[in-house]
């Protein structure tokens, strides 16, 4: 991070899309309420004593990612931070600052919003799990699975989701610099939603970090983590570099 990141983050944090996105961090509490209602809607389950707290946290993250609204809010946060400021001319305030530092700070600020969302989700899941879900038949009451294999699969799944969020943010930033709001929204949504079903689509699953928990039996823990990190590096190397390149060419 550079010295612009925190000031830019404080501005991004106050934007309406950021508040909507972070509000989804309370989703585990919503799952708890829904599970108490006489409905089959969004009910979760599993084998007896199979779900630890970290499994529930991972599941909550998966459900939120697969829900369109949080992604829309996150993409709009990027649009407000990049495209809207380009159109309104507010980037003029940064005219005397190195543009590479400016775009880096913009990207890092959105990633920080995601980290805040993850922290909120973690503590919401902690409350929901230990108040309610651990008492159900599939709740083990453990903080993290005692079975080593289950634990490793969970870590692969969590890290894969972290990586795909970061990749989605950087792609949205690049598109927001180069194209209009509609193209940015549709293209980024397509990428994110396609990544969530890629594990069912043949070779495409190898190109998305959030598919690798399904490839654990093929690669094992070490190779999954290595390949996911390599994918992250490739995506960032391409889209962060392109974002810097085209942001430097903007006139403001």
Mean pLDDT for the stretch of residues 171-178: 96
Pick from 115, 81, 104, 113: which is nearest to 3 by CA? 104
Phi-psi region of 47 (alpha: psi -120 to 50; beta: other; left: phi over 0): beta
Residues 6+ apart with CB under 8 A from 164: 65, 192, 195, 208, 209, 210
* pLDDT band at residue 217 using 50, 70 and 90 as cut-offs: very high
The two three-digit tokens of residue 184, written as one number = 């940015």
The per-residue pLDDT for range 220-248, each reduced to its tens digit, is 999 999 999 999 999 999 999 999 999 98
pLDDT at 140: 94
The per-residue pLDDT for range 55-66, each reduced to its tens digit, is 999 999 999 998
What interhelical angle do 99-131 and 148-178 show, nearest 10? Answer: 140
The per-residue pLDDT for range 182-202, each reduced to its tens digit, is 999 999 999 999 999 887 888
The two three-digit tokens of residue 17, written as one number = 């899309």
pLDDT at 252: 63
The two three-digit tokens of residue 10, written as one number = 């404080």
- Whether 125 and 44 have beta carbons less than 8 Å apart is answered as no
pLDDT at 221: 97
Pick from 188, 192, 165: which is nearest to 25 by CA? 165
The model's pTM: 0.94
């Amino acid at each position: 991070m550079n010295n612009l990141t925190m000031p830019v983050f404080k501005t991004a944090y106050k934007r309406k899309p950021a508040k909507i996105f972070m509000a989804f961090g309370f989703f585990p509490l919503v799952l708890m309420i829904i599970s108490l209602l006489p409905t089959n809607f969004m009910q979760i389950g599993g084998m007896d004593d199979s779900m630890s707290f970290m499994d529930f946290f991972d599941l909550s993250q998966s459900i939120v990612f697969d829900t369109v609204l949080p992604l829309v809010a996150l993409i709009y946060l990027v649009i407000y931070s990049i495209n809207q400021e380009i159109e309104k001319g507010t980037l003029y305030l940064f005219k005397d600052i190195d543009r590479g530092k400016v775009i880096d700070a913009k990207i890092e600020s959105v990633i920080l919003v995601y980290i805040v969302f993850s922290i909120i989700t973690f503590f919401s899941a902690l409350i929901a799990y230990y108040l309610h879900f651990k008492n159900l038949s599939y709740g083990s009451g453990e903080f993290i699975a005692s079975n080593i294999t289950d634990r490793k699969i969970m870590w692969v799944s969590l890290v894969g989701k972290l990586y795909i969020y970061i990749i989605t943010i950087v792609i949205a930033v690049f598109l927001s610099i180069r194209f209009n709001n509609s193209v940015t929204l549709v293209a980024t949504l397509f990428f994110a939603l396609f990544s969530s079903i890629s594990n069912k689509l043949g070779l495409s699953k190898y190109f998305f970090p959030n598919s690798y928990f399904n490839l654990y039996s093929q690669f094992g823990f070490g190779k999954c983590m290595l390949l996911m990190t390599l994918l992250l590096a490739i995506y960032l190397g391409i889209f962060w570099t392109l974002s810097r390149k085209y942001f430097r060419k903007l006139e403001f």
